[in-house]
Amino acid sequence: MEDIKKLNNYFDHTLLKAEATEADIKKLCAQAKEYDFYSVCVNGCYVPLAVEELKDTDVKVAVVVGFPLGAVSTEVKAFETDWVCGQGAKEVDMVINVGALKEARYEYVKDDICAVVALADEHDAIVKVILETCLLTDEEIIKACELSMEAGAQFVKTSTGFSTGGATEQHVALMRKTVGSRAKVKASGAIRDLETTLKMIEAGADRIGASASVAIMNDYLKK
């Protein structure tokens, strides 16, 4: 049972599709309560609903900011962070400005993350920085991890799940090596089965973002 509990707590049970309805979010939260997942991860407009559905439970509400492109202004990301955290979100998964990173505008990238971290800190929330690793070279992944840590983020995260690819073992391992014990690593994107989940954890992931969390857990329980 302890192993099952441990696996449960890796999951940010996720629903970020544009067509998601209030009924879908309520179902997501009910599943998270049933399986005792670490959190649900939703779009900002559904934070109040998720918080209400999960009150009096240990399941946290995570939310995406600057999603999915990361290309909105820093001011917009900061405002969004302040609002969602004010509504009860305890974890903020923000998307890095990929273009700025790729053209080596490192101060901009760091300041962008710092602005989100500052507002999250005011609400006692943590920040996960989504790197979108499928668009980056290994050197850019390393730099993005370093900037995220310098800015005070608690996690680096592989992917939005909305770009050209998701998490890979190689990228998770590289991120784990780069951050060491100074930050945690979240693997997300294209994690749809138990085998992939276990490989990501073995590669160094501290958290798993997945919409297939229930199916993965059901396969685990059959073992």
Q: Which one is catalytic: 93, 110, 128, 184?
A: 93
Distance CA 118, CA 8 (A): 30
Cα–Cα distance for residue pair 40/15, rounded to 1 Å: 8
CA distance linking residue 26 with residue 21, whole number of Å = 9
Half-sphere exposure in the Cβ direction for 97 (13 Å, CA): 25
Q: What is the C-alpha R_g of the chain?
A: 16
186: annotated active-site residue:
yes
Closest-CA residue to 114 (of 61, 75, 63):
75
Rounded to the nearest angstrom, the gap between the alpha carbon of residue 198 and the centroid of all alpha carbons in its chain is: 18
C-alpha distance from residue 52 to each of 108, 122, 133, 154, 187 (Å): 36, 21, 33, 26, 27
Catalytic residue of the set 110, 143, 157, 184: 157
Tell me the two tokens of residue 168: 């890979």
List active site positions: 93, 157, 186
